[in-house]
Amino acid sequence: MVLQKIIFLLARRVMTERMVEGKRGFWGRRLYADYLKRYSFAAKFAVDKNVLDIACGDGFGTYLLSKKAKSAIGVDISGNTIKLAKTNYGSKNKNLSYAAFEALKFLSENPDKFDVIVSFETIEHLSEYVKFCELVYKALKKGGLFIASTPNKELSVFFAGNTFNPYHIHEFYPGELSLLLEKIFHSKPRTFLQRPLMKKRVLISFIRQFFFREDSKIVPDQPDLSGIDILVQVGKK
């Protein structure tokens, strides 16, 4: 379908793997609204908790979590990005810190345990995504919570016929990610959809959500809905 192809080409042209505070432009504002909504969602579970934010990017989201948390540490593979995070936000809260580390290396070597681990738009970039989830499980305290987001493979298939983004190694269907986490955590995850779309009207719903709604919405997964992003929340028993 021509309209699907046009949307795909537009999105590929403006997509970014690094979100920056206050990102501007038509697409940028919507991506930034999604970014803020995810951190707002996670912040509800961060109150008085020790929180780890894996692949924190510019660090603004970690800073937002630190406002609620007992402590918050943001980890990112990019040393330059972490330097900027420390400069921009590191002194704003005493309970906030940043570290330059590859995700699996940090989880493998860091001895601390966390109440909440957050990782947004990360798992799709990892070839060792199973090991990543296993290490997250080990790094959580008993009763701890893992909150993650990733692009919805359903939308990639609809618009691109396969993986939407060339930087994504493995994209997930909602049920696929839920089953993976259930196997590792021995606990049933809760799945949410960001920018929900009607499955029977995916194209129209997408246009309405992304072109006419600047705000972002997260809702529980439902049989008749898809979503631009998947969020999962799973606890360690």
What are 42-91's pLDDT values in tens digits?
999 999 999 999 999 999 999 999 999 999 999 999 999 999 999 999 99
pLDDT given at position 19? 55
CATH number for the domain that contains residue 61:
3.40.50.150
Distance CA 25, CA 211 (A): 12
Q: How many domains does the chain have?
A: 1
Let me know: does 189 contact 172? Beta carbons within 8 Å: no
For residues 142-149, average pLDDT? 98
Let me know: does 143 contact 113? Beta carbons within 8 Å: no
Percent residues over pLDDT 90 in the chain? 67
Percent residues over pLDDT 70 in the chain? 85
Please list the helix, strand and coil fractions of the chain in percent, rounded to the nearest 5, in that order: 45, 25, 30
pTM: 0.88
Strand partners, 191: 232
Distance CA 100, CA 151 (A): 24
Domain that holds residue 23: 2-235
Measured in whole angstroms, how far is the alpha carbon of residue 210 from the centre of its chain?
A: 18
